Amino acid sequence: MRQTFLLAIVICTSLYINAQCTSRRYLDTVFHDATVTSAIYYGTADNQLGISQDLYLDFYEPTGDTLSSRPLIVYAFGGAFLIGTRNQPPIPDYCTYYAKCGYAVASIDYRIGFNVLSTGSAVRAVYRAAQDLRASVRFLCQRYPQYRIDTAAIFLTGSSAGCFSALHSCFMEPSDVPSDIHGITLEPSDLGCYDCSTNADNNRVMPMIRGIINHWGAILDTSFIRPTAKDNVPVISLHGDQDNLVPYTVGSPFGYPIFPVVDGSVPIHARMDHLGIKNELHPLYGYSHEPWLLAPQLLDTCFKYEKPFLYSILKPAPLTIAGDSALCSGISSTYTVQPRAGSHYCWTYIGATLLSLSSNSVTLSWPAPGTYMIIAREMSRNEVNGDPDTFYVHVVAPPVAAFGEAVAHTVVQLSDSARGATGWLYSFGDGSTSTLAAPTHTYHGAGSYTIRQIVTNGLCADTAYRSVVTDTCPVVHLSYTVSHDTIYVSAAPPGLLSYHWAFGDGAVDSGETAYHIYTHSQNYLVALSTVNDKGCTGSESAIVGYTQPSGIQAVEVADFALYPNPAHGYVSLSCAECNVAIFDCVGRLLIDKYGVNNQNIDISRLSVGVYQWRVSAAGQTGSGRLIVR
């Protein structure tokens, strides 16, 4: 139950984090109302009659909006460059709708009027309108903090003549401008460059336009649209296929030959398709020019096509999550996306432990093996949702290092018992290494070494250590003492696994020390062989000359007596005020008693073997051999 509860918390937290990158702004009317600031002065220029004209714009914005960087739509009215105002129907409804969707919108004045009998005058009218349109954009861009405008997200639109202005202001280069703008017979004034009129705002620099919404507009020549970055401006066109004023295909506006031949929405669409520039054409079948005046429902049709088109332009480029796609459980990894100015990023992950989170990165670890998803989503500075990027992480259990060893002298045989390993690396402590799973290694000499095993599964590693002691074969030495008919032998070094004695007459014995009684006088080959705990053998031998004595004088004084002999546990000594000493086969004093008076002597601590005893009393001595059973 507790695990289920914790999982629910993780899921809810992830959904909450992702919700911060989910918005319907620009796709729906997310604001209830729009605030309009009317008659904002943006410049002055001479009209067709040479009369100075002040120009204004109305600014629409979402009521209560707090976003500091909003896309801007600039609307230029229609009217064949002869009539029209910035607030004629349906401009207020159009601008209010987009403001409720989250855009900043400006509806502008521009200079109108031309000589209907002069082609050159008509061309100059289009040029003047384009100059004023650009001036209004420069005005707003210079004051972008005041109007909270994103100067990199400006769209142009309008109706009819207004879209003529938008298309020409974007695509017509100075080299394309007809010579008529420098003056004609009845209009001798030179209109100057595109950004030399109306105001000097933004250092007379027109920002790059992000897109155009073309409502039944046209362009003098589609060749103005070039395969250059500057002209890579997306266009969405809506045009009645029965338009008899501005040609849907090619022709003179109004069918009036005084007007120049222009290219309508169909050739614009074809040209942009040919150049690979993003664009859409939505024919309004059966409708003539500016159909929304008589069919207001077409406003909704326009919104239906335009909103997703604009949104696709504003949408951030796809994200790519970078990080480890495979790792071991318990190991952390950082996942990042390329940051973009003003954007923030939301991360969704389930089953992971969050270690750190920053603007464009997250550090996670996974406690258990499995396949997991990481999802990153961007919210741009305009509050536009980016498409989520999904990244899969494969988590496996880490390997566990373990091994055993068998040592024989200086040779070590390793056995692998690691779990989940696909690669091995051993270091033997003497500078040597091996990548075998169960290697054999020979050391150059005896010593203590630490062997390290590193195992990996290709993603992570684990380490284990074991210490080994190697040894060379021991150098052994035997020593002996012959007393009467008995030889006493001892071996060095002590503590070996086994000792084997051969006394040269067929008799054998074992142990670190031993004794043997000879029965014949001759030279005997006494041999010692040993084995240590590493299985290594050692040996030494010596020739021992033995001469059988004529007899053993047990005591030198008749009243000394030591019995029983052989004995076990104790011996009795019959004497008064005697000093008694008992020695082992190599002459080490084991028991020393003074002032013994006819009493038992404890020999229980003596091992089975042959010993020498000596008794002295009143200046007399006696000695002999004591056998302990």
Q: What is the average pLDDT value for the chain, to the nearest integer?
A: 90
Contact at 8 Å (CB) between 212 and 276?
no
pLDDT of residue 484: 75
pLDDT of residue 608: 85
Mean pLDDT in residue range 558-587: 79
Measured distance between the N- and C-terminal CA atoms of the chain, rounded to whole angstroms = 77
Break the chain into its structural domains and give their ranges.
Answer: 2-18+318-396, 31-314, 403-470, 477-546, 561-628
Q: What is the pLDDT of residues 341-381, one digit of tens each?
A: 999 999 999 999 999 999 899 999 999 999 999 999 999 99
- Is the model's pLDDT at 200 over the cut of 60? yes
Alpha carbons 40 and 42: distance in angstroms, whole number: 6
pLDDT grade for 548, boundaries at 50, 70 and 90: confident
Alpha carbons 207 and 133: distance in angstroms, whole number: 12
Q: What is the pLDDT of residues 40-58, one digit of tens each?
A: 999 999 999 999 999 999 9
- Is the model's pLDDT at 508 over the cut of 60? yes
- Is the model's pLDDT at 591 over the cut of 70? yes
pLDDT grade for 550, boundaries at 50, 70 and 90: low
Cis bond leading into 227, ω under 30°? no
pLDDT grade for 80, boundaries at 50, 70 and 90: very high
Least confident of 330-339, 376-385, 464-473, 582-591: 582-591
The secondary structure element, H or E, covering residue 528 is strand 522-531
pLDDT grade for 147, boundaries at 50, 70 and 90: very high
Task: Report which residue type is found at 461.
Answer: A
pLDDT of residue 583: 85
pLDDT of residue 228: 84
- Is the model's pLDDT at 553 over the cut of 60? no
Mean pLDDT in residue range 180-204: 95
Mean pLDDT in residue range 10-33: 72
Q: Tokens at residue 420, please?
A: 């989940």
Task: State which of 231-240, 533-542, 602-611 shows the largest mean pLDDT.
Answer: 231-240
pLDDT of residue 16: 39
Q: Hey, what CATH topology would domain 2-18+318-396 get?
A: Immunoglobulin-like (2.60.40)
* Residues of the chain above pLDDT 90, percent: 68
- Is the model's pLDDT at 555 over the cut of 60? no
pLDDT grade for 2, boundaries at 50, 70 and 90: very low
Of residues 271 and 552, more confidently modeled: 271
Alpha carbons 384 and 314: distance in angstroms, whole number: 7
Class of the CATH-defined domain 561-628? mainly beta
Same CATH topology for 31-314 and 477-546: the answer is no
- Is the model's pLDDT at 517 over the cut of 90? no
Least confident of 1-5, 277-281, 450-454: 1-5
pLDDT of residue 424: 97
pLDDT of residue 7: 40
Mean pLDDT in residue range 549-573: 65
Residue partners of 3: CB distance under 8 A and separation at least 6: none
CA distances in angstroms from 545 to 79, 477, 501, 515, 611, listed in the order given: 143, 19, 17, 15, 21
pLDDT of residue 9: 35
The CATH superfamily holding the domain 403-470 is Immunoglobulins (2.60.40.10)
Task: Report the candidate in 348, 322, 347 with the shortest Cα–Cα distance to residue 334.
Answer: 322
Contact at 8 Å (CB) between 377 and 362?
no
CATH code: domain 477-546 is 2.60.40.10
pLDDT grade for 337, boundaries at 50, 70 and 90: very high
pLDDT of residue 234: 97
- Is the model's pLDDT at 129 over the cut of 80? yes
Of residues 254 and 389, more confidently modeled: 389
Task: Report which residue type is found at 439.
Answer: P
CATH code: domain 31-314 is 3.40.50.1820
Mean pLDDT in residue range 537-546: 88
Q: What is the pLDDT of residues 211-263, one digit of tens each?
A: 999 999 999 999 999 988 777 999 999 999 999 999 999 999 988 888 889 99
pLDDT grade for 549, boundaries at 50, 70 and 90: low
Task: Report the candidate in 13, 16, 4, 22 with the shortest Cα–Cα distance to residue 350.
Answer: 13
pLDDT of residue 14: 44
pLDDT grade for 559, boundaries at 50, 70 and 90: low
Q: Tokens at residue 616, please?
A: 């002295």
Q: Kindly provide the b/e burial profile for residues 225-247, where b requires at least 16 CB atoms within 10 angstroms of the residue's own CB.
A: beeeeeeebbbbbbbbeebebbb
Contact at 8 Å (CB) between 536 and 471?
yes
Cis bond leading into 247, ω under 30°? no
pLDDT of residue 257: 84
Alpha carbons 438 and 424: distance in angstroms, whole number: 9
